[in-house]
């Protein structure tokens, strides 16, 4: 079954919430402890970015179109959510979760990507690599990154490598495509191959993203980042109470 970034250095990925608790218990703590949970002022983390870029993570651009495309896919199964609620979920559960895995397992990721690329080339050339898994289910059961690629893919299309949110790459062939004219609760299918690079224990996003440099084109995008993750990111200092 196919389950539902410049990279940071693993040594910098300490759980900041635990560090903040320990610091608060230190009777001799000084003003320097404030760096564990930086103040987010009016311009913290804001920067002039190229048109169409919502924010960057360690210099890697996250485009507005990407966020909107994921929000559109999410809206199919969550029509009751506001647009900002959808975008907040996309940023936290899709973009930052994947960045967290990529940063934490930076050493293992390149080899996994190379193997996934070679596997995808074989499939597109008509090969049938060992280890294929068949899957049928509902569109919201796919990993968010695979879901977006799958939605408009015809039968027989080869997708990937698609990097998942939980530390791995998928190469997939569509066997039962999604029909936008039919109800959302329809059965879709694929067969695919997974190359995993993450190993337990897996970090929470605020742990894996700790120390990643983030720059936002607008305050709106920064405000959509969950507070725990925002405080773990490197925003380039603070500027207000």
Alpha carbon distance 227, 215 (integer Å): 15
Alpha carbon distance 79, 158 (integer Å): 29
Q: pLDDT of 60-109, one tens digit each?
A: 999 999 999 999 999 999 999 999 999 999 999 999 999 999 999 999 99
Three-state SS at 190: strand
Q: How far is CA 188 from CA 140, 147, 159, in A?
A: 10, 11, 15
User: What average pLDDT does this structure show over 135-162?
Assistant: 97
User: What pLDDT is attached to residue 39?
Assistant: 60
Contact criterion met (CB below 8 Å) for 150 and 188: yes
pTM, rounded to two decimals: 0.80
User: What pLDDT is attached to residue 4?
Assistant: 40
User: What average pLDDT does this structure show over 183-207?
Assistant: 96
Contact criterion met (CB below 8 Å) for 65 and 52: yes
Burial per residue of 219-239, b for 16 or more beta-carbon CB atoms within 10 angstroms, e otherwise: eebbebbbebbbbbbbbeebe
Indicate whether 190 pLDDT > 80.
Answer: yes
Confidence of residue 38 (pLDDT cuts 50, 70, 90): low
**Which residue in 94, 106, 81 sits closest to 54, CA to CA?**
94
């Amino acid at each position: 079954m196919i389950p539902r970034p410049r990279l940071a250095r693993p040594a910098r990925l300490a759980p900041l919430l635990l560090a903040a608790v320990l610091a608060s218990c230190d009777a001799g703590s000084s003003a320097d402890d404030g760096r564990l949970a930086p103040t987010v002022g009016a311009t913290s983390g804001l920067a002039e970015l190229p048109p169409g870029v919502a924010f960057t993570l360690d210099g890697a651009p996250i485009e507005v179109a990407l966020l909107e495309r994921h929000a559109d896919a999410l809206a199919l199964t969550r029509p009751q959510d506001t647009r900002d609620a959808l975008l907040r979920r996309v940023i936290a559960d899709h973009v930052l979760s994947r960045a967290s895995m990529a940063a934490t397992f930076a050493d293992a990721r390149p080899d996994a990507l190379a193997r996934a690329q070679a596997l995808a080339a074989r499939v597109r050339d008509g090969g049938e690599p060992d280890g294929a898994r068949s899957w049928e289910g509902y569109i919201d059961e796919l990993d968010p990154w695979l879901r977006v690629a799958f939605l408009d893919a015809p039968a027989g299309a080869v997708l990937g490598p698609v990097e998942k949110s939980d530390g791995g790459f998928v190469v997939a062939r569509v066997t039962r495509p999604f029909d936008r004219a039919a109800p959302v609760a329809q059965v879709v299918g694929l067969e695919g191959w997974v190359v995993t690079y993450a190993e337990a224990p897996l970090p929470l996003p605020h742990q894996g993203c700790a120390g990643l440099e983030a720059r936002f084109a607008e305050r709106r995008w920064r405000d959509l980042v969950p507070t725990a993750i925002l405080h773990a990111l490197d925003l380039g200092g603070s500027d207000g109470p």
